[in-house]
Amino acid sequence: MTHRERFYATIERRPVDRPASWLGLPAPAAHSGLFSYFGVNSVDALRTRLDDDMGDNVQVAATGLADGDFVFASATVAGTTADRGYIYKWELGDDDEWDSMTSDDELGTAGDNVTGLLYFNGILYAVNTDNGTDSQSFRTTNPTSSTSYWRNRASADETFAATPSALRASSDGESTTKLWALDTTGSQLMSYADTLVTAVPTLKGPADGHLIEINAITGQGHTIPFTWLSPTDYANEFDFLIATDADFDEPVVDSEAVESSGNGWDEGDTVSQMAGPSGAAPFLVDWMPGQTYYWKVRVDSDNADDRNTRSGYSEVRTFTIANEPQPQAPVIIQPAPPAPQITLPQPKVEITVPPPTEVKIPPAPPPPAAPAPITPAYIWATIIIGAVLIIALIILIVRTRRVS
């Protein structure tokens, strides 16, 4: 079966040789919208309109086929502005018409056609080929958002115009998506490694679930330094989002640009941005006490060297602002109660005095006899000297008489 036969068979609910998800064709709930968009009221009329106006250049892809999934389609429709290719999307179970995903000249100029459309790992890829010898590859990392942003990569001198679709993809299961396209001019198979599709910024701080204390002086949550690592050498701007819900439907910092003041960041460089009560606009945020916030970032660079770069989003982290401290209850000091009056009975004290004890004191012994007086030594010396002198005198007298 050709891609067109599968398209018709799916709408008519007939068996196909490949799963419908191979083409990402719309679920039955979308049929009325298809009819309305092409101005028909039956499958036969739709077949005629497609055959007459679209030729072979119909490209389709889808995120899935359940309600809430998206179908993407592209065709070069005769009668549109300059017959150029456009891409549309349809949300199953919700939309009642196709929504355009591209504007004039966004995927090329007059005469260009979308020859390949592929949804892979959350990214919508497209190949646009002019009627000459050049092609470009495009991708959007937010194909299901209300506004899709496209980044392109030129490929000169190759024409990717193979049918039924010029584009396929594979993955190494880690960080690279490889696009494959057949160059119908040079008859060779070409590939392009999209290394940034899963190489997202790595968040550093604050840590997931971090509690931000209340500033005791201002009564507000502190201003927070947010940091992350650049995943590429071609980053000069990042989208920075902070919201009060995990779906980022209630943003407080809404995809604001964190721009480089120099030549951008290289892979592994740390990027920093302050946000909070003292942050600079648009990062001036009055945190709500007790509120949990969600944040994420992505590369969104538009470089002069034609390396337009938009990565996927980083992981989502949360932080919570602490509750305001509870006011202290007033302390009321009650007056002291009056002192109790205590009456003590007069104690009765009885003292018993024992009878006096008779004490007999014996008479004192007689004093000892006084010792005999002691003659002083000098008196004895005088007596001896005197005796010696008398003896000497007597001797002298005796001798004197003998002489006479």
In whole angstroms, give the CA distance from residue 114 to residue 57: 8
Q: Are residues 110 and 182 in the same domain?
A: yes
Q: Does residue 276 share a domain with residue 219?
A: yes
Look at residue 352 and tell me if it is in a domain. Answer: no
The domain total for the chain is 2
Contact 300, 237 (CB under 8 A): yes
- Structural domain contains residue 379: no
Q: Can you give the pLDDT at residue 371?
A: 66
In DSSP terms, which residues pair with 178 in a beta bridge?
170, 193
d(CA 181, CA 313): 27
For residue 78, the model assigns a pLDDT of 47
Residue that finishes a domain, picked among 296, 321, 346: 321
- CA distance readout (Å), 165 to 3, 154, 289: 9, 18, 54
Residues 175 and 230 in one domain: no
Regarding whether 20 and 139 lie in a shared domain, the answer is yes
Cα 60 to Cα 73, 180, 286: the distances in Å are 4, 17, 46
Evaluate whether residue 368 is within a structural domain: no
pLDDT at residue 225 is higher than 60: yes
Q: What is the pairing mode between strands 317-321 and 210-212?
A: parallel
Say if 174 falls within a structural domain. yes
Range(s) of the domain holding residue 283: 202-321
> Which neighbouring-strand residues pair with 404?
none
Q: Which residues contact 327 (CB under 8 A, 6 or more apart)?
A: none
**Tokens representing residue 389 in the block:** 């002198």
**What does the pLDDT read at residue 229?**
94
Enumerate residues 6+ apart whose C-beta is below 8 A from 378.
Answer: none
Structure confidence by residue, pLDDT tens digits, 198-210: 678 999 999 999 9
Residues 292 and 172 in one domain: no
| 3-class DSSP assignment, residue 37 | helix
* Opening angle at CA 310, ends 136 and 269, nearest 5: 130
Residue 151 and residue 225 share a domain: no
pLDDT in tens, 347-382: 776 777 777 777 777 777 777 776 666 767 778 788
Residue 262, SS3?
coil
Considering only residues 286 and 17, tell me which one the structure prediction assigns the higher pLDDT: 286
Residue 123 pairs in a beta bridge with 120
Question: Which string of DSSP letters, residue by residue, matches 312-339?
Answer: -----EEEEEPPPPPPPPPPP-PPPPPP
Instruction: At 114, list the tokens.
Output: 């979308």
Are residues 134 and 211 both part of a single domain? no
Q: Could you tell me which of 161, 134, 137 has the C-alpha nearest to residue 150?
A: 137
Residue with token string 């049918």:
163
Residues 162 and 237 in one domain: no
Supply 358's token pair: 């008779």
Q: 379: part of which helix (H) or strand (E)?
A: helix 377-403
Name the residue with tokens 């460089």.
269
39 within domain boundaries: yes
What is the spatial distance between Cα 102 and Cα 72, in angstroms, rounded to a whole number? 12
Q: Which CATH number fits the domain that encloses residue 281?
A: 2.60.40
Contact criterion met (CB below 8 Å) for 316 and 209: no
Q: What is the mean pLDDT of residues 283-298?
A: 93
pTM over 0.85: no
67 and 120 share one domain:
yes
When mean pLDDT is compared across 130-134, 183-187, 227-231, 259-263, the lowest value belongs to 130-134
Encoding tokens for residue 100? 């355009």
Residue with token string 């937010």: 142
102 shares its domain with 137: yes
Looking at 293, 321, 349, the residue that finishes a domain is 321
User: pLDDT digit string (tens) for 25-76?
Assistant: 445 555 666 666 666 777 667 666 555 544 445 788 888 888 888 988 886 6
